Copies of this chain bind each other. A is one copy, B any other.
């Protein structure tokens, strides 16, 4: 074998295919995840993929998981950047950062964002990411728990609080990507997001 040739066995073809498919999703969303193209990018024949995934849906599912994890990771980063103070002000700021991170991810990586929610219809939505770390929903829930602990949110209003919070930021992302805000300027979007977070906070 001359230098530069790849060995016959790839070594970690499964992950390489997922990585390539993640890049496809980034560029074009879930529909852009195509077995043949992923194989092409890895430099392997297009049927080699079937040694590692029973069908295209399995590859798609793996990519969904990665996208969901990436979203969770950004949320955790943005929250962690604000420290761990239990003051009322701090817990509120961290809740806001949770929502801001969600929207930031959606706008920065719309392909991944869409893919994260393109879970095949025969599967359940997962609360936990594949590697067992908390998913976006659980991260949000933890922040809401923090509000209760800090005395910002009365305990009797805690149940179901995830719903308005998640719906708000998720819907805002839709507004900005595919809805009436999609031709808006960054300033307009920023103002809208601030108004949204204010309203969620008051509403809780």
Min distance, Cβ A33 to any Cβ of chain B, angstroms: 13
Q: Are B171 and A166 in contact (CB under 8 A)?
A: yes
Q: Are B117 and A179 in contact (CB under 8 A)?
A: yes
Q: Are A196 and B124 in contact (CB under 8 A)?
A: no
- Shortest Cβ distance from A198 into B: residue: B203
Complex CA gap A169/B160 in Å reads 15
User: 1/0 per residue A172-204: CB within 8 Å of B?
Assistant: 111100111111000000011001101111111
Complex CA gap A169/B196 in Å reads 13
Quickly give the copy total for this chain.
Answer: 2
Interface range on chain A (Cβ under 8 Å from partner): 35 or more
Choose one: B31, B125, B178; the contact of A119 (CB below 8 Å).
B178
- Which residues on the B side are within 8 Å of A181 (C-beta)? 163
Min distance, Cβ A92 to any Cβ of chain B, angstroms: 14
A57 close to chain B: CB less than 8 A: no
- Which residues on the B side are within 8 Å of A196 (C-beta)? 163-164, 167
Choose one: B164, B180, B200, B202; the contact of A195 (CB below 8 Å).
B164
- Shortest Cβ distance from A196 into B: residue: B164
Choose one: B124, B171, B175, B203; the contact of A203 (CB below 8 Å).
B203
- Which residues on the B side are within 8 Å of A58 (C-beta)? none
- Shortest Cβ distance from A162 into B: residue: B180
22 A/B residue pairs, CB under 8 Å, sorted by A: A31-B31, A119-B178, A125-B178, A125-B179, A125-B182, A125-B183, A137-B180, A160-B195, A162-B180, A163-B181, A167-B167, A167-B174, A167-B196, A168-B168, A169-B171, A170-B170, A170-B174, A171-B173, A199-B200, A199-B204, A200-B203, A203-B203
